[in-house]
Structure 1
Amino acid sequence: MTSPTLQAFSYDPFDPAVMADPLPYYRILRDHHPVYYIDKWDTYALSRFDDVWRVLEINDGTFVASEGTLPAATVLADHNDGPVPDPPLHPMPFHANFDAPIYDTVRRCTSAPLRPRSVSGLADRVRQLAGERLDELLPRGTFDLTQDYGGIVAASMVCELLGLPVELAGEVLGTVNAGSMAQPGSGVEVAKARPGYLEYLVPIIERSRAVPGENPIADNLIAYRLPDGSGFSDVEAATQLLGIFIGGTETVPKIVAHGLWELGSHPDQLAEVRADLEAAVPVAREEMIRYCAPAQWFARTVRKPITLHDTTIRPGQRIITLLASANRDEREYPDPERFIWNRPIERLLAFGRGQHFCLGVHLARLEITVLVTEWLKRVDDWRIDPAAALRPPSSFQWGYNSVPVEV
C-alpha cells in the first residue's frame, strides 16, 4: 500500500486501506495523534503503549463494555447522548458486555480448566496432538502452517475443553475463521456469525441439562443465577462459551505460523533458539506474541469523564485501545519493527490488561510453546511462500489465515 502522509492523514479502523496494512497508520497516530478523534464514530483511538496500559487498568466504572468490546460500525454509527445503560439481563449477551459483578461471576463459571494448574496438566495432550499433526503433515511436503498445524491442534483443545468430539476440530476452525471476516467499512459482524457458533454450543448445554456432571463448565452455567434470581436459557448459557470457542481457536495458530515464519527468516536467531529449545522457546514465544498477535483493538464506552493528553472524553463516547499499535511502540520496545527472539519484554498488551485480561492466556502460552518446540525438533528446514500467504480483510484481526509451507 501507499504509506499515509501526515498532511492527508485520516484513520478509521474500518477503512480498506487500514485493514490492508494498519502499521503505517499506527506510527503516525503514536507520533502525532496519541488521542485521535474519529468523528464518524464519535470514538477516540489510543495508540501509545503507556496510554493503553493505564486505561485498561482502570476498573472504577469509568469505562464499560455495554456496547461490546468489539462493536461493529453499525453500533458505533449511533452516537450516544450521555452514559449508556447496562445491557438487559435477558436475552443475556456475552458476559464481557457487563461490568462486575456479573462479568466476574460468569467468567468464573468458565475459568477453572484455564487456570495455571489445570493448564499445566494439558501439556502432554497438546504435545500428543502436535505430534499427530506432524506425523500426518510432514510426509506431504507442503501444507498450510496456520490451518493444518496450529489450527487443528488449537481447535482440538477447544473441542475437548467444551465437550465436543475432537473430530469436529476442522469444522470448528472453519466456522471461527469465517466469523472473523469483515467487509471493509463494516467491521466484524459478530451477531451474524453467532448462529453458526451456537450450532455447536447450544447442544453442549442441552446435553448437560439432560446428563449433569459430565461437563463442569456447562454445569456451572446452568446453575448460575443472575442478580434477579433468574438463570440462563440454553442459548444464553451457550453464548457465554464464545470466549473459549473463538479466542481459543483463532489466535494461537496465527501467532505460531507467523512466528515460525519470522524465526525461519533469521537463520542466526533460529540457530540460537535451536541450541537450547527448552530455555529459548519460552523467550522467543513472548516476542512472537508481541510481533505476531493478530488482535488489533478493543473498545470501551466512557461512563465517567476522563482527560487524556489534554482531551476530555465525555460519557457516551467510545475509545478503542489499539493493542497492535502498542505492541510496536518504540517508547516501550526499541526497534519495534524488528523481530528479535530474545528481546527483553517487561510488559505485554497482546492479551489485554485489567478486568478483561484474556481468560485463556495460560493455555495460549502453553500451546505456542509446544507447537514451536515440536516443530523445531522435527523440521530441519522449511520454506514459506510469501506470495501465497493470506491476510484477509478484518477490522479486528490482522493475522495470517494461510501460510503455505514446504518442508
Structure 2
Amino acid sequence: MSFRYDPFDPAVMADPPAYYRVLREQYPVYYLEQWDTYALSRFADIWKVLEVNDGTFVASEGTLPSAAVLAAHNDGPVPDPPLHPLPFHANFDAPLYDEVRRATATPFRPRKIAALATRIRELANERLDVLLPRGHFDLTAEYAGIVAASVVCDLVGLPTDLAGDVLATVNAGSLAEPGSGVEVADARPGYLDHLIPVVARRRAGEGDEVPIADNLLGYRLPDGAALTDHEAAVQMLGVFIGGTETVPKIVAHGLWELSSRPDQLAAVTEDVAATVPIAREEMIRYCAPAQWFARTLRRPFTLHGITIRPGQRIISLIASANRDEREYPAPDDFVWNRPIERLLAFGRGQHFCLGSHLARLEITIMVTEWLRRVPEFHVDAARASRPPSSFQWGWNSIPVEVG
C-alpha cells in the first residue's frame, strides 16, 4: 500500500526502472487518482493498446500533457482541438492527423533516407576530425548531438552552423520543474524562433526547397484555410524535436554500455558492418530516453478487468515495456546481440515514429564511424548527467576520453 508511481515525482524519475518492475509485477493497470489516468507497464498490453486505431484512443490533450492539463478531469469524451490556430497535428484524430503527417513525411520515405547515408557519414567524420585531437569531449552533446542536429537542420532548411543552437534549444525544452512536467509542443516559442523564418522564406519563394515546409504551405484544412507561418512551423516540431533529442542519447549511452563490457565491445568491433546493425537494436531498446506517451479515451476500453471510461487517460510506459521480463529475458542486462523480435521504442500504430528509418541509419553510422576511428575510449561516469524531466530519462552529457 506504500507504493506510489507518478511520472511527475522527481524521486520516480531519478530511477524509473525500479518503479516499472513493481508496476509490471503487481499493478499492470495502475490508477493515478490525482490525474485520473491509468499507467500501462507491460509490453503485451501496450502493444495491444497502440494497435487500436479506431478512435478509441486519441491525443486531443497532447501526447505529453503537462500536470496542469491532467489535473482537469474530464466528464466524458474530449473533442479534437479547434482548427484555428492549428496546434500540433498529433493532437487530432484521423483524417486531419493522417493528412498533415503525410505532408511532413516526404523526406522520411525509405529511399530518401537511404540517400542520406553519405551525408550523415560525412557529418560524423567532420565532428570526429574536430574532436579526436582534443582527447576529451562530450560524447552526447559534442559528437552525436551535433551530428543529429545537423541532419535536422538539413531537413528543416536551417544552416548546419546552427546545429549547436538547435540542440541546446531542444534539450532545454525537455527539462521540467518538479511536479509540473513539460508544456505542449506549440507552447515552446524557442523552437518556433528557428522554424517560422524558414516557413516565411519558403512562402516568399526564397532559398532552396524545403519539402516539409513546402508541403505544409500547400496543405489546406478541412474548412479550406491555408496554414499560417506559425501553424506550419508548429507542424514541423515533431521533426525538429524528435530528430534532435533521441538519437544522440541512444548513440552516446549505447557506446558507454559497450565500453563498460570489454568482451561485448571486442565482439562488435570485429566486423562493424555486420555487428553494429544488430547492436543498434539493443541500444534502442536499452537506451531510448522517452518514458511514456499519453492518450485520452473516447470509448470505454477494458484491460485486466478494469474498464477505463471516455475522458480518462492512459500513459503507455514505453520504457517499461522495453524492460519487460515477459518479452526480453534478463531485460536489465545489455546484450549486444540479443534477439529482438518486437520493439516499442518507436511506438506502434497510428503514431509510429515518422523518423524511425532515419534514426536507425544515424545510429548505425555514428556508432560505426566511432568504433572504426576510436580504438580506446573511457567514459567519465562521475561527470555524466541526466537532467530532471517528467517524460525522458536520457544522458544529456557523457564526458569521454579517447586513447
1:251 matched to 2:246? The reply is: yes
Identity of aligned residues (%): 74
What corresponds to 1:271 in structure 2? 266
1:192 Cα offset (Å): 8.0
* Distance (whole Å) between structure 1 residues aligned to residue 386 and residue 160 of structure 2: 27
Q: What residue in structure 1 maps to residue 104 of structure 2?
A: 110
Aligned counterparts of 1:218 and 1:125: Cα–Cα separation in 2: 21
Q: 1:152 aligns with which of 127, 137, 146?
A: 146
Q: How does 1:118-157 map to 2 (within 5 A)?
A: 118-157=112-151
Structure 1 residue 364 corresponds to structure 2 residue 352: no
Deviation at 1:19, TM superposition (A): 1.3
Equivalence for 1:238: 233
CA contact (8 A) 1:179 1:190 kept: no
Q: CA deviation at 1:214?
A: 2.0
Structure 1 spans left out of the alignment, 5+ residues: 1-6
TM-aligned CA deviation for residue 16 of structure 1: 1.0
Superposition deviation, residue 191 in structure 1: 5.2
Question: Which residue is 2:285 aligned to?
Answer: 290
Deviation at residue 193 of structure 1 after TM alignment: 5.7
Structure 2: tracts of 5 or more residues without a match: none
Q: In 1, distance between residues paired with 2:17 and 2:289?
A: 12
1:9 is matched with which residue?
A: 3
Tell me, yes or no, if the aligned pair for 2:63 and 2:295 is still in contact at 8 Å: yes
Amino acid at match of 2:347: G
Distance in 1 between the 2:87 and 2:50 partners?
A: 22
TM-score (normalised: structure 2): 0.98
Q: Which runs of 4+ in 1 moved over 4 A?
A: none
Match of 1:393 in 2: 388
Does 2:338 match 1:317?
no
Whichever residue aligns with residue 117 of structure 2, its letter is A
Is the CA contact 2:186–2:234 (under 8 Å) kept in the aligned structure 1?
no
Letter in 1 for 2:237: L
Match of 2:201 among 197, 201, 207: 207
Q: Deviations over 1:96-116 (max 9, x none)?
A: 001111111101111111111
1:174 equivalent among 168, 185, 204: 168
Q: Which amino acid aligns with 1:373?
A: T
Partner SS for 1:262: helix
1:41 pairs with 35, 41, 44, which one?
A: 35
Change (3 A) 1:358 1:380: same
SS of residue in 2 equivalent to 1:398: coil
Equivalent AA in structure 2 for residue 27 of structure 1: R
For 2:186 and 2:34, the matched residues in 1 are separated by 23
Secondary structure at the counterpart of residue 69 of structure 1 = coil
Q: 1:54 aligned to 2:48?
A: yes
User: How large is the Cα RMSD of the aligned pairs?
Assistant: 0.9
Whether the 8 Å CA contact 1:179–1:193 is kept in 2: the answer is no
- Once residues 17 and 11 of structure 2 are traced to their aligned partners in structure 1, the CA distance between those partners, rounded to angstroms, is 11
1:402 and 2:397 equivalent? yes
Contact 2:153/2:163, CA 8 A, preserved across alignment: yes
Aligned mates of 2:67, 2:392 — CA distance in 1: 15
Q: Partners in 2 of 1:216 and 1:115 — Cα distance?
A: 12
Q: TM-score, normalised to structure 1's length?
A: 0.97
